[in-house]
Amino acid sequence: MSIEKIDHIGIAVESIEEWLGYYRDILGLKYTGSEEVPEQKVRVAFLKIGESQIELLEPTSEDSPIAKFLKKRGSGIHHIAIKVDDINTALARHHDAGARLIDKEARVGAHNMRIAFIHPAASGGVLLELCQEPS
């Protein structure tokens, strides 16, 4: 199992429309599109930054995890996604070490990536997302 890169940094916002202008037009990142991820009740917009991306996350429902995050903490960095070449092995390693997981098994995220979240308690207070390219 190897770590490839920071795939993206997820930033929770109330409205993608409100913040896309900053990231695309003022900061100058290349906007590569957006999509809805119904399983997570979010809409996501991607902006390319070198080999990585900024992922803007907007809740699509009141009970979305992002809506809860915004209510509690306001907009800001929500998670850091780390790309691996073998998410199952990465999850097994966490499980064996007793590290707290949000997802015990990988599920499908934006761009059909296989993803799983690690609980912030396991990683010093940062919500980490593991992701792997779909095969």
Contact residues: Zn ion, CB under 5 A: 10, 55, 81, 129
Beta partners for residue 44, in sequence order: 35, 57
Closer to Zn ion by Cβ: residue 76 or 96: 76
Least CB distance from residue 81 to Zn ion, whole Å? Answer: 4
Q: Which residue has the tokens 């599109």?
A: 33
Least CB distance from residue 47 to Zn ion, whole Å? Answer: 13
Closer to Zn ion by Cβ: residue 54 or 96: 54
- CB–CB of 79/131 below 8 Å? no
Closer to Zn ion by Cβ: residue 55 or 58: 55
Least CB distance from residue 32 to Zn ion, whole Å? Answer: 14
Sign of CA dihedral 93, 102, 121, 129: positive
Closer to Zn ion by Cβ: residue 10 or 65: 10
Residue nearest to Zn ion (CB): 10
- CB–CB of 32/47 below 8 Å? yes
DSSP 1: -
**Environment class of 34 (CB within 10 Å of its CB; exposed 0-12, middle 13-18, buried 19+):** middle
Rounded CA separation 78/135 (Å): 27
Least CB distance from residue 101 to Zn ion, whole Å? Answer: 16
